[in-house]
Amino acid sequence: MAQVKERQNTAFYVLIAVLVVMAIGPVLLMFVNSFKLDVDITSGATGLIFLPTIQNYETALCDVLPYEIDHLDYCSMKFGGAFINSLIISLISTALTLIIGCMAAYALVRFRFMGRDTVSLSTLMVRMVPPAVLLVPVFGLWNNEFCLDRDGVIGGWIRDTMGGRGDVCLAGTHSGIILIYVAMNLPFVIWILQSFIVQIPRSLEEAARVDGAGPFQVFFKVVLPLIKPGLAAAAIFTFRVAWNEYLLASALSDRDTKTVPILIVNNMSEFNVEWGVIMATGMLLAIPPIIFTLFASRQIITGMTAGAVKG
Amino acid sequence: MSRSLANRATPYLFIAPAAVIMALALLYPLLYMMWGSFRDWDPTQTIGEAEFVGFKNYLTLFADPNFHESFAVTLKFAISVVTIEMVLGVGLALLLDRNLRGMSVLRTLFILPMMIAPVVVGLMWRYMYHPTVGTFNRALDSLGLPTVDWLGQHALLSVIVADIWQWTPFIFILSLAALQSLPRSAIEAARIDGATAWQQIVYIKLPLMMPVLIVTCLLRLIDAFKVLEVILVMTEGGPGLSTEILALRISRTATEFRELGVAAAMSNILLMMLLALTVAMFAFGRIQEARAARVRAAIEQEAG
């Protein structure tokens, strides 16, 4: 298809420019404001004439910075710790979802014990469940049912080594939040990977099997390398959900396992919003997704269109 | 012997972890929620201690004017958001479906709003709508126009605008993908027969895109019922109940009013609504496929 680039008129380019400004304007605004002092943000002096400062970022990250910060006598934002929590939770849940989802997708395609219809229907079903609907049961279950008795062997051991009172429950731990994220993301991942695995010719696997590879070897050495693009798309979507999610994390986390979105919401609901600091935190939360967007937009678009067009 | 057993067990081994996790952390909680919706349940009790009250929670909800309000707000929000986004997204796709240099850069920039955390989107818009320091009022002020109390008097509208900003690109990208996979021959034929650009859109492109558009629309509709964080950060449901959508009301009922039973009943209603939508969407997909298969069979018959 050697099509000639059509010549477009000026109005067309103006439209595109307007769209681009609208799409990234708010993000740029936040970026610029995160380098301003609150005085500069509220003073009404418009625009770009200000002295950029990283003071907001220092305030936000005060609990992990190695040096003393002059403008601050007390470190109230525990953003550094929350950042680490967010990273732990999203990275582990992404890795787990990919491994488990990959295996399930492979089994569903190759051994066909469920029709494709059943899988895509259940994917859709799960996609429709709002996190708000899961809030009540997850709160109840993670606090009361998914517990180890403190008198039991493992529960007793955890209480002895980690301290604390009562039964050992999933709520308030990283693993509790990770579990629900894995469950939420699995159907989508299975479904995306399935569409990639279907395209691998069977003969390729049979050849490997003839050469003496077991089912696990076939999976890891033949199938996995071939579905890398699918894995990339699935990884980005899973990471994004886990990284951005607020509601369930806020119900399940305790003081030590708070993630970044929770911190932002808590600081926003205070009466006097410190705009500079909050924008710096927002910027830090937005950086990983922005990086993904800039470097892997093709995979993102693949994942997005696959989700709807073949729905 | 052991080899063949291993081979036979493999599929189950591969699928077991996923099945266990989904059953434990998704299916069981949903059943638990339905069961809990028949109980008078507060957060200090386990579900076994809570008293069984039959349909009382549902009856409370149906009689509660606040729930009606919240339900109406949810519908208003979802329907207006999806309608406007569909029109804008499809319109832009039709406009920008040309051989453009830098189209991929454009697409990359357009998906940015969708990737950023809803919490951050709410934060940005809350700043821009701020009555004194916000961008919009500053702009109005510098033009000498009276300022507007965006989140106070036009809260729902402001929230809708923010959602449109975030999700129109989704529809744009999907419709663009659909447009670019249309059979070139049909459009070519129409052009040769002298169809104007407008006629091409109305009689050729839109009808051919219809299946994708309907699926996109339903997906967006389902997602619109799930929006929570953006609104939470921007308005916290206020002022009054003017932006308190159902998802937000569920979370407030559970955490602020501490009535887990009622919150569960509300979750159940929301879930059933979305279930109906999803089933409709799936059924539609099947009907489309059946029709396509019939057409294909008819063509083959003619050819043969």
> Is A3 a residue whose pLDDT tops 50?
no
Contacts of B127 in chain A (CB under 8 A): 29-30, 33, 275, 279
CATH of the domain at B159: 1.10.3720.10
Residue A4 vs residue A153, higher pLDDT = A153
Look-up of token digits 């009013």: B257
Asked if the model's pLDDT at residue A4 lies above 50, the reply is no
Q: What are the two backbone dihedrals, phi and then psi, of residue B284, each rounded to the nearest 5 degrees?
A: -60, -45
Number of Cβ pairs closer than 8 Å across A and B?
Answer: 278
- Residue B262 maps to a domain: yes
Asked if the model's pLDDT at residue B157 lies above 80, the reply is yes
Strands (E), chain B: 39-40, 51-52
Residue A67 lies in a domain: no
Give the span between the Cα atoms of A306 and B1, in whole angstroms.
42
pLDDT at B271 over 60: yes
| Residues in chain B closer than 8 A to A307 (CB atoms) | 219
pLDDT above 60 for B203 = yes
CB contacts of B142 in chain A (<8 Å) are: 46
Q: What is the mean pLDDT of residues A70-83?
A: 74
In a domain, A56, yes or no: no
Q: Tell me the backbone φ, ψ of residue A169, rounded to 5 degrees.
A: -115, 165
Is residue B76 assigned to a domain? yes
pLDDT band at A155 (very low <50, low <70, confident <90, very high): low
Mean pLDDT on B253-268: 86
pTM passes above 0.90: no
Write out the residue range of the structural domain in which residue A95 sits.
83-309
pLDDT at B80: 93
Q: How far apart are CA A216 and CA A228, in angstroms?
A: 17
Query: Three-state SS for B52?
Result: strand
Q: How many CB atoms lie within 10 A of CB B154?
A: 15
Note whether residue B50 is domain-resident: no
In a domain, A9, yes or no: no
Least confident window among A50-64, A106-120, B137-151: A106-120
A103·B251 Cβ contact <8 A = no
Q: Which of A6, A264, A290 sits opposite B123 (nearest CB)?
A: A264
> Which pLDDT belongs to residue A142?
83
Min Cα distance B139 → chain A (Å) is 10
Helix (H, G, I), strand (E, B) or coil at B39: strand
The pLDDT of residue A204: 83
Whether B39 is covered by a domain: the verdict is no
Mutate to test the interface with A, among B120, B167, B185, B209 (most CBs of A within 10 A): B120
Nearest to A286 among B33, B117, B228 (CB): B117
User: According to the model, what pLDDT value does residue A9 have?
Assistant: 75
Residue A293: inside a domain, yes or no? yes
What's the pLDDT at A73?
Answer: 64
Domain that holds residue B266: 68-295
Residue B2 has pLDDT above 60, yes or no: no
**Chain B CA closest to residue A190:** B18
Query: With bands split at pLDDT 50, 70 and 90, how would you rate the model's confidence at B7?
Result: low
Name the range with the highest mean pLDDT among A87-91, A305-309, B1-5, B179-183.
Answer: A87-91
pLDDT in tens, B17-55: 888 888 888 888 888 888 888 888 777 777 777 778 878
Provide the CA B96 distance to its chain's centre, in angstroms. Answer: 24
Q: Find where tokens 């040096």 sit.
A: A67
Distance from CA of B258 to the nearest CA of A (A): 10
Q: Indicate whether B208 belongs to any domain.
A: yes
CA distances from B144 to A46, A146, B139, B147, B152 (A): 15, 60, 9, 9, 21
Query: What is the residue-averaged pLDDT of chain A?
Result: 79
Separation in Å, CA of A55 to nearest CA in chain B:
19
**How many domains in chain B?**
1
The pLDDT of residue A1 is 39
Tens digit of each residue's pLDDT (9 = 90 or more) over A163-210: 666 667 777 788 888 988 999 888 888 888 888 888 888 888 888 888
**What CATH number does residue A276 fall under?**
1.10.3720.10
**B21 with A261: Cβ contact below 8 A:** no
Domain count, chain A: 1
User: Quick one: average pLDDT of B112-119?
Assistant: 88
pLDDT at A2: 40
Residue A3 is assigned to a structural domain of this protein? no
Distance from the A186 Cα atom to the nearest Cα atom in chain B, whole angstroms: 7
Residue A65 lies in a domain: no
- Please report the pLDDT score of residue B237 as a whole number: 76
Q: How confident is the model at residue B236 (pLDDT cuts 50, 70, 90)?
A: confident
How high does pLDDT run on average in chain B? 83
B53 occurs within a structural domain: no
